[in-house]
Structure 1
Amino acid sequence: MASPQARPGLPRIRASYRIETPLDPERAAAAMAGEQSSGTFLKLAGETDALRERHAARVESVALLATVDTPSLPGSLTGDAYHRANVTLSWPQENIGASLPNLLATVLGNLTELRELSGIRLTDVELPRDFIEAFPGPQFSIAGTRRLAGVDHGPLIGTIIKPSVGLSPEETADLVRQLIEAGIDFIKDDELIADPPYSPLAERVPAVMRVIEEHAQRTGRKPMYAFNITGDIDEMRQRHDLVRAHGGTCVMASVNWIGMSSLVALRRHAELPIHGHRNGWGLFYRHPQIGIDYRAYQALLRLAGADHLHVNGLGSKFVEADASVIDSARACLTPLLEAPGRDDRALPVFSSAQTVHQAPPTFAALKSTDLIFTCGGGIMGHPDGVAAGCRSLRAAWEATASGVTLEDHARQEPDLSVALRAYQSPFSG
């Protein structure tokens, strides 16, 4: 998300796109601007010059990229060639007010259905300062999460409850006991479990927190557990309060399915960090000619109140390119607005088939250890057990941050040595 800039006149919202069209791109951009502001398919009596001057969208720029022979998406107007271009539009903020769902309806909305376009992807948004300030953003961000998890430096080494489904509350608590005794910093429910009949949250929360609180009283260290409270707004408020009442320090929600308004409502109610899980993100990014770039979407999720946001991982089991993963993480760590007392960054959460092998390239690309590094099999699949899996990952990150190769560090860290042999590197061969 670009930083806000001062401009004369009324504050304006800018959105950038990559489009494909059989028309002249300038004409397609004009159609986009008309569809998403004062225009329709014919001139209306109420559409005065004064109204257009105050409320119409503007085409700020059009830059041709390439021309292809066939359309990327079906249903568009046909032509001899299809032109790809970068387009930037802007709207007066007063068209929208301080509303994230109405912002999305304006900057994307019907654009995805225009016959003039055979491709449309929102790539970035630029919001006026007072729009950003209308939202509290993340409540805990990086520093607050570190404080609650008791991790002053380095990545938070985390894992996901596996198997994802089927464990009873007591079986989950038993696994949590093993993980925290092994030295884990962060544990999360899988996105597939929230409040099912076989593991009601009202039973899972006290069972898990009893184990965590006993460990904290004995050792002075309290790992963070993100309970999946995904549901409707009232359910999420009640589930948040259940977690808080039992001493929990994090809640999780599937942000794509609860929606922006529900995330805003949860943030207004919450007294705990919100772990934003982006399952379903492939619907938005997988085809290069339609959807939303994560750089744009993560900015809105942070304004809505997410403290942590998933970004996939390098060499993962998913289709997202490594460069896209790193760009997503960098975006999460870039302030939306720099102001005294404000930190609206979100901790990027790396996940999906992560092992010790991903530590060096992740740090080399991101240049930061402000992240949550979650490994399921990368911890629980270690041949010498869960504790050895945790130690191997911590050793991998210690070596990486110190500029030492994993192979050299493994000479004095047997758990890392075993992990390097047990897990195949996705970057070799």
Structure 2
Amino acid sequence: MTRGEAVKATYWIETPHELRRAAETMAGEQSTGTFVPVPGETPEVKARSGADIVRIEELEPAKTPSLPGAQPPKNADGLYRRGIVELEFPLHNFGPSIPNLMATVAGNLYELREFSGLRLLDVELPASFAQRYPGPKFGVEGTRRLAGVYGRPIIGTIVKPSIGLTVEELRLVVRELVEAGLDFIKDDELNANPTFAPLEDKVRVVMEEIERHADRTGKKAMYAFNITGDIDELRRNHDTVVRHGGTCVMVSIQSVGLAGLAYLNSFSEVPIHGHRNQWGMMTRCPALGMEFAAYQKLCRLAGADHLHVNALDSKFYESNGSVVRSVEGIRAPLFGGYACMPVLSSGQSAATAETTYRRLGTYDLMNIAGGGIMAHPGGPASGVRSMQLAWEAAIGGLDREAFAAEHAELRQALDAFSK
């Protein structure tokens, strides 16, 4: 049997052992080996299914471990060696299957006592994954078509309070938001199917307000309904949204899993808004978890049309450089396509548009502002208008201060939200 296609996985590691030995432990544990030699691990089996070490790059060592639990060798010198390790896994070990891929490239190796730090940096996937997973059905262009927005970002907001509104209280909030001229509105990740406001009732009320406004103005706002639930609920919840004329569904990717996302994508008739809540516990420690570079590829494969990336100067811990790299990663073609729209949210307002456009160099994104719209001194409609004006100035290369002098909504927003 020939090995054929393979998956390459790149890691940052920290270990009290020699880097070569640590890499061999990783390769063995995630393919044919275990903690002791076993009779069945013949040279033929290793040749057929063993992981190969492609590259080891030594980095500056540390004197203290990043994470507890590592067991140094008997002859330890007190250093914790750091390096970049690239492994290659034969595809026939697991096939073009995201769940089984994850068990291989991000499985038990995180628990191995040889390591005081381990992080998946990136994955390179063979063409078989593209044949198995068609990816986003709508992406940037399909989302723009449904939202009717071109030449600027899609401007949106999140329903607040995040949770607690009855359906009739929600009706009034949505009415105010669509009348303000928003392109996009989303449920908070906390609000999916509360017992006091069931999803069926929520969808009915929201779409009544959206359709009423669309009939009057011709503008139909896109609303991302949070349909997160058990696997058997996803189709039923999706169909509820589509039946009432909705144009977007949202799922918490970590909650439903990548397999759940792929299942939803197999029948979805509207864009899938991928929320990455819980991502912080997978990535915030720099010596553990994975980089967004790897994660976003898997999400796009599984069918996310939109994917959250935090935002520049947000309320979260993530650096601006990390956000920029995340957006660049999403925008880079995967298998020649798999276009996905970056979603920037947290701390957004008219005051952040200029920097965002300058750093990212694109307006093919969703710019979601909560307080930056709802807390505008002139009200939500002025908040929406201030965002539109700020992006008009940024894209057109206009002097923001001079432009704001001619537009009260932008001037008020800059005065209220500039740091």
**Which TM-score tier does this pair reach, normalised by the shorter chain?**
over 0.9
Q: 1:410 aligns with which of 380, 404, 413?
A: 404
Q: Deviations over 1:239-298 (max 9, x none)?
A: 110000000000001101111111111111211111000011110111100011011001
**1:374 matched residue in structure 2:** 368
Residue 51 (str. 1) matches residue 49 (str. 2): no
CA distance in 2, matches of 1:353, 1:368: 19
What is the 5 A alignment of 1:275-286? 275-286=273-284
SS at the partner of 1:411?
helix
Q: 1:170 aligns with which of 144, 159, 168?
A: 168
Residue 16 (str. 1) matches residue 14 (str. 2): no
**1:424 matched residue in structure 2:** 418
**1:264 matched residue in structure 2:** 262
Q: 1:41 aligns with which of 18, 35, 50?
A: 35
SS at the partner of 2:355?
helix
CA distance in 2, matches of 1:265, 1:385: 40
Q: Which moved more, 1:241-250 or 1:267-276?
A: 267-276
Q: Which moved more, 1:174-183 or 1:274-283?
A: 174-183
**1:224 matched residue in structure 2:** 222
How far the C-alpha of 1:41 sits from its partner, in A, is 1.6
Q: Deviations over 1:151-205 (max 9, x none)?
A: 1221000000011111111221211111111111000000110010121111110
SS at the partner of 1:138?
coil
CA distance in 1, matches of 2:362, 2:79: 44
CA distance in 2, matches of 1:103, 1:330: 24
Q: Deviations over 1:336-395 (max 9, x none)?
A: 111xxxx41211100011111211121111111010000000000001100000000010
**2:105 matched residue in structure 1:** 107
CA distance in 2, matches of 1:109, 1:227: 32
SS at the partner of 1:410?
helix
Q: Deviations over 1:130-161 (max 9, x none)?
A: 22221010111111000011112210000000
Q: 2:340 aligns with which of 334, 338, 346?
A: 346
CA distance in 1, matches of 2:213, 2:293: 39
Q: 1:32 aligns with which of 22, 26, 29?
A: 26
Q: Deviations over 1:108-142 (max 9, x none)?
A: 10110011110000000000112222101011111
Runs in 1 of length 4+ with deviation above 2 angstroms? none
How far the C-alpha of 1:222 sits from its partner, in A, is 0.9
Q: Which moved more, 1:402-411 or 1:180-189?
A: 402-411
**1:4 matched residue in structure 2:** none
Q: Structure 2: which amino acid aligns with 1:64? A: E
How far the C-alpha of 1:9 sits from its partner, in A, is 5.8
Q: With the length of structure 1 as denominator, give the TM-score of the two structures.
A: 0.95
CA distance in 2, matches of 1:32, 1:199: 48
Q: 2:350 aligns with which of 349, 352, 356?
A: 356
**2:63 matched residue in structure 1:** 69
**1:301 matched residue in structure 2:** 299
Q: With the length of structure 2 as denominator, give the TM-score of the two structures.
A: 0.97
CA distance in 2, matches of 1:166, 1:93: 47
CA distance in 2, matches of 1:395, 1:335: 30
Query: Given that residues 3 and 90 in structure 2 are in contact (C-alpha distance below 8 angstroms), is that contact kept between their aligned partners in structure 1?
Result: no
Query: Given that residues 30 and 104 in structure 2 are in contact (C-alpha distance below 8 angstroms), is that contact kept between their aligned partners in structure 1?
Result: yes
How far the C-alpha of 1:406 sits from its partner, in A, is 2.1
Gapped regions of structure 1 (runs ≥ 5): 1-7
Q: Deviations over 1:201-227 (max 9, x none)?
A: 111101010111111122222110000
Q: 2:80 aligns with which of 79, 82, 92?
A: 82
How far the C-alpha of 1:10 sits from its partner, in A, is 0.7
Q: Which moved more, 1:71-80 or 1:225-234?
A: 71-80
SS at the partner of 1:75?
coil
Q: Structure 2: which amino acid aligns with 1:124? A: D
**2:129 matched residue in structure 1:** 131
How far the C-alpha of 1:326 sits from its partner, in A, is 1.1
**1:240 matched residue in structure 2:** 238
Residue 387 (str. 1) matches residue 348 (str. 2): no
CA distance in 1, matches of 2:194, 2:217: 32
SS at the partner of 2:118?
strand
